[in-house]
Structure 1
Amino acid sequence: MITSLAAWLDAVPLAAVPAVLVTVFFIAAEVGFRIHRRFGGSGSAADESQVLSTALLVLALLLGFTFSMALNRYDERRQLVVQEANDIGTAWLRAGLVPAPHGPVLQRALGDYAQVRQTSPLPGETAKLATAARLRDQVWRRAALAQADLDGARAASLIAAVNSVLDTGTAREKAVAARVPGEVMMLLVIFASVACFLLGYVLAAHGHRHRLASGVLFVLMALTIMLILDLDRPADGAILVDQSAMRELATDLASAALLAHR
C-alpha cells in the first residue's frame, strides 16, 4: 500500500503538491478536532500539548534528514556533470597526441559522445541511454587502437583518461536514477498528516481551531516537502542541475572539429 501511495505522490505535478498537502493537513486537523470534541478523554490540555510537541519534534527531524538526503543526491548529480565534462575534455586533449589516423578518429568519437551527454539522461529515456552506451563502446575501441601508436607512459595516460570518461558516464546515469525512496517520502507525508491530526486534537482541548496560525504552519510544511521533491526530481521543477559545463564542452569540441577540417 505504501508503495502504491508513493507512486501516486510521484505522479502529482510539483506545482500542485503544496495545495494537495495543505488540503490533506487541514482535513487531518479537522478530524482530530472533531474526534476530541466527541471522544476526548479526561487528560489535561498540557499533557496533550506535550504529545503534540514530541510529534512535531520528530517531524522536524524527519524533514531535516530527508532534505539532507535529497540535497546530497542533487549535489552529486551536479558534480558529476562537471566531472564528466572535465574527463571528456582531458581525454580529447590526450587523443590529440596520437598521430593520424587513430588520434583524430578518437577525438571525433569523443565529440560525438559529448553531444549526446549535453543533458543528464533520465532512466526512462532508453533510446538516449542506449546511444550513450553504444558511443562509449565506440570510444573504447578507438582508444584501444590509438594507444598502440604511443609509448608506454603516454598510452597508459590515454587509457586512464578514456577509462575515467566511461566510469563517470555510468556514475552520472546511476546518480540521476538514484532518488529518495518513495516509501520514505510517503511515510513523511503520513507522519506530517498525523502531526496535523494531533494539532487539531490539542486545539480542541483549548476550545479554538486557530485556522490562520494552523494554515501558516501547514503551508510551511507543504512548501518544505515540495522543496524536497523538487531537489529529488531531476526532470521537472525549479531546481534543476546546471548542464552548462557539458553544453559548453560539446560546443567547443564541435568548433574544434570544424577548424580541423578547414
Structure 2
Amino acid sequence: MINSLASLLDLVPLPAIPAVLLVIFFLAAEAGFFCHRRFGGSGGGEDESQVLSTALLVLALLLGFTFSMALDRYDERRQLVVQEANDIGTAWLRAGLLPAPQGPELQSALADYARVRITSPLPHDTARLARASALRNRAWSLTAAAQATLDGPRAVSLVSAVNAVLDTGTQREKAVAARVPGEVTLLLVGFSAVACFLLGYMLDAHGHRHRFASSVLFLLMGLTIMLILDLDRPVDGAILVDQSAMEALVASLAPAGG
C-alpha cells in the first residue's frame, strides 16, 4: 500500500513536483493558521516557536539522510557503468587469445552484449533483461567450451574476465532497480507537510501570516525534494548517469561485433 502510494510520485513529471508540493505545503500552513485561530491555547508565540524549531531540525536531518541515500545510489550506478565497460573490454581482449573459431565467436557475443548494455534495462523492461541474460549465458557457454583449449594460466585469466562481466552485469541491474524506499519518500513528504502546518500554527500565534516568505520556503523545500527524486530516477529527469564509457566501448567493438 505504501509503495503503491509512493509510486504515484513517479507518474508526476519532475518539473511539476515543486509546484505540486508548493500547493500541498501552502494548504498545510493555512490549515495550521486556521487551527491555531480556532483551537489555539493560551501559550505565547515562544512555545510554538520551540516546537517548530524542533520539527524543522528533524526535517533537515530527514532531508539530509534521504539526499545522501539517493546520491549514494546514483554514484553506485555511475561507477558500475564504467566498471562494466572495463570488464567487457578486458574479456573481449582476452577472448582474442583464443584460436578460431572460438575466439571470434566469444568476441562477437561480448560485442552483442555490450550493445544491449549501453543503458541498463529497468525492472519492467523484461525483453531487454531476457536478452541480456541470454547473451550472458551464451558468453559463458562459449567460455566454458573454449577454456579447454588453453593452458592453465590463460584459461584462468579468460574465465576470470568473463565471470567479472557476468557479476558486474547483475550488480548493475540490481543498482538500477534499487530506489529510495517508498516509506522514506512518503515520510519525507508527510513530515514536510506537518512542518508547514506547524509553521502556520506558529505564525498565527505571532499575528502575521507572511504568505510570500512562507511560499519561498515551501518552494525551496519542493525543489530539494525534486532533486532527491531526480537522483533516484535512473532514466528520466535532468540528472542522468553518464553512459559515455559504454558508448565508447561499443564504438570500439563495432568492427569485430559487426
Q: Which category of TM-score, normalised to the shorter sequence, fits these structures? A: over 0.9
Q: Which residue of 2 aligns with 1:86?
A: 86
Q: Work out the CA distance in 2 between the residues paired with 1:5 and 1:20.
A: 15
- The CA deviation string for residues 144-177 of structure 1, in whole angstroms up to 9 with x for no partner, is 1111111000100000000000000000000000
Q: What code does the residue aligned with 1:148 have?
A: A
| Unaligned segments of structure 1, at least 5 residues | none
Q: How does 1:79-118 map to 2 (within 5 A)?
A: 79-118=79-118
Q: Work out the CA distance in 2 between the residues paired with 1:4 and 1:163.
A: 37
| TM-score, structure 2 as length reference | 0.98
Q: What code does the residue aligned with 1:132 have?
A: A
| Unaligned segments of structure 2, at least 5 residues | none
Structure 1 residue 7: Cα displacement: 2.3
Q: How does 1:137-152 map to 2 (within 5 A)?
A: 137-152=137-152
Q: Work out the CA distance in 1 between the residues paired with 2:234 and 2:178.
A: 10
Contact 1:120 1:243 in 2 (8 A): no
Q: How does 1:17-96 map to 2 (within 5 A)?
A: 17-96=17-96
Q: What code does the residue aligned with 1:44 have?
A: G
Structure 1 residue 85: Cα displacement: 0.3
2:243 equivalent to 1:243: yes
Structure 1 residue 38: Cα displacement: 1.1
Q: Which residue of 2 aligns with 1:159?
A: 159
Q: Work out the CA distance in 2 between the residues paired with 1:2 and 1:200.
A: 27
Q: Which residue of 1 aligns with 2:168?
A: 168
Contact 2:107 2:256 in 1 (8 A): no
- The CA deviation string for residues 104-162 of structure 1, in whole angstroms up to 9 with x for no partner, is 11111101111111112111110000000000000001111111111000100000000
* SS of residue paired to 1:209: coil
- The CA deviation string for residues 71-109 of structure 1, in whole angstroms up to 9 with x for no partner, is 000000000000000000000000111111111111111
Q: Work out the CA distance in 1 between the residues paired with 2:153 and 2:89.
A: 19
Q: Work out the CA distance in 1 between the residues paired with 2:2 and 2:167.
A: 35
Contact 2:112 2:257 in 1 (8 A): no
Contact 2:116 2:128 in 1 (8 A): yes
Which 4+ residue blocks in structure 1 deviate beyond 4 angstroms?
none
2:234 equivalent to 1:234: yes
2:197 equivalent to 1:202: no
Q: What code does the residue aligned with 1:188 have?
A: L
Contact 1:9 1:186 in 2 (8 A): no
Q: Which residue of 2 aligns with 1:180?
A: 180
- The CA deviation string for residues 165-204 of structure 1, in whole angstroms up to 9 with x for no partner, is 0000000000000000111101100000000000000000
Q: Which residue of 2 aligns with 1:124?
A: 124
Say if 1:4 and 1:131 are closer, same or farther in 2 by CA, change over 3 A: closer
Q: What code does the residue aligned with 2:189 have?
A: V
- The CA deviation string for residues 50-79 of structure 1, in whole angstroms up to 9 with x for no partner, is 000000000000000000000000000000
Structure 1 residue 257: Cα displacement: 4.4
Which has the higher mean CA deviation after the structures are superposed, 64-73 or 146-155?
Answer: 146-155
Q: Work out the CA distance in 2 between the residues paired with 1:136 and 1:74.
A: 25
* SS of residue paired to 1:241: coil
Q: What code does the residue aligned with 1:246 have?
A: M
Q: Which residue of 2 aligns with 1:217?
A: 217
Q: Work out the CA distance in 1 between the residues paired with 2:257 and 2:122.
A: 28
Identity of aligned residues (%): 75
